[in-house]
Structure 1
Amino acid sequence: MDDAIYVGNAGVDGATNGGWLLGHFMPPGEVRHSTDVEIKWGVHPPGETRARWATGERRTALLVLVSGRFRVELPDRTVVLGAPGDYVVWGPGVDHSWYAERESVVLTVRWPSVPGYRVEPPVIR
C-alpha cells in the first residue's frame, strides 16, 4: 500500500522538478505519475516571465494565485491575479504567457498530461 501513497511538501518537491508535482513526467509506477492531469506549485520571483509564448496548446489549464501578483497574457486580453484565490481557466487552442509582477506562488492544474510541451526555463526581466 505504501507505493499508492505519497506524502510531501509542494515547495520542497516542486523545487526539484520545475515546480511540477504530478504528471506524465513522474516515474512510471509512482502514484504521482499521471497521463490525466499535471499539477504545479510555481514559486516565481518578481520580474520572472515565461521564456516564450506557449502556442498550439492542446490542454486545458487552471491557474490559482496563492500569493503575490501574477499576470497572464492571453491573445485578446491580460488577466491580473492580484488576490489570493483569484484564478483563470483557458481551454485548448489558447496561446498564453505570464509575468510575475511581485513574488508569487501559483498553483497550476493542466489536463491531460501530454508529453512534449517542455519549454525553456523562465527568465527574469
Structure 2
Amino acid sequence: MPAGDVLHSADVEVKWGVHPPGERRAAWATGETRTALLILIRGSFDIELRDRTVLLREPGDYVVWGPGEDHSWRSGDCETVVLTVRWPSIPGWRLPSAAN
C-alpha cells in the first residue's frame, strides 16, 4: 500500500491467500528475513520447512516460522484459504522467478 494509506505499514503485512486444489509453491523461499504466521481458514495446507512438514487440517490451525527458515507449501484436495501475517513488512518483496 502507498505511504499515507491507512493500510500502509512498515511493521507488518497481511496476505489473504486463496489456493486451488493441489497448488504447490513454484520454488522454495530461501533467505527469508521475516517472521511469518500462517493460519488456515478453510481447506488443508502443508507447510514444508527443511526439517519438518506441518500439516494444517482444521480451521484455526497455524504455524509460525522465523527468519532464515526456508519454506515451501502445497494446498490440499479442495480450494484452500490461508491468512499470512509477516513482520517486518518488506515493500514489493516477491519470490525471485525461476529465470533469475
TM-score, structure 2 normalization:
0.90
Q: Distance in 2 between matches of 1:93 and 1:116?
A: 19
Tell me how far 1:120 sits from its aligned partner: 6.1
**Counterparts in 2 of 1:13-52, with a 5 A limit?**
26-52=1-27
- In structure 2, stretches of 5+ residues that fail to align are none
The Cα of 1:117 is off from its aligned counterpart by: 2.7
Matched residue type, 1:104: T
Match of 2:45 in 1: 70
Cα RMSD of the aligned pairs, angstroms, is 1.4
Q: Separation in 1 of the partners of 2:95 and 2:30? A: 11
- Which residue does 2:90 correspond to in 1? 114
Secondary structure of the residue aligned to 1:50 is coil
Once residues 120 and 84 of structure 1 are traced to their aligned partners in structure 2, the CA distance between those partners, rounded to angstroms, is 30
- The TM-score normalised by the length of structure 1 is 0.73
Instruction: Kindly provide the amino acid, as one letter, of the partner of residue 101 in structure 1.
Output: G
TM-superposition CA deviations, 1:69-114 (whole Å, max 9, x none): 1010000100110000000001111000010013110000000001
> For residue 57 of structure 2, what is the amino acid of its counterpart?
G
Write 1 or 2 for the structure with the bigger share of helix.
1
Greater relative contact order (Cα < 8 A, sep 6+)? 2
Matches within 5 A, 1:94-105: 94-102=69-77, 103-105=79-81
Matches within 5 A, 1:54-69: 54-69=29-44
Counterpart of 2:82, as a letter, is V
Cα offset for 1:116?
Answer: 5.2
Q: Which runs of 5+ in 1 are unaligned?
A: 1-25
Write out the 4+ residue segments of structure 1 that deviate beyond 3 Å after TM superposition: none
- How many aligned residue pairs are there? 96
Among the aligned pairs, what percent are the same residue? 70
* C-alpha contact 1:51 1:120 (8 A) present in aligned 2: no
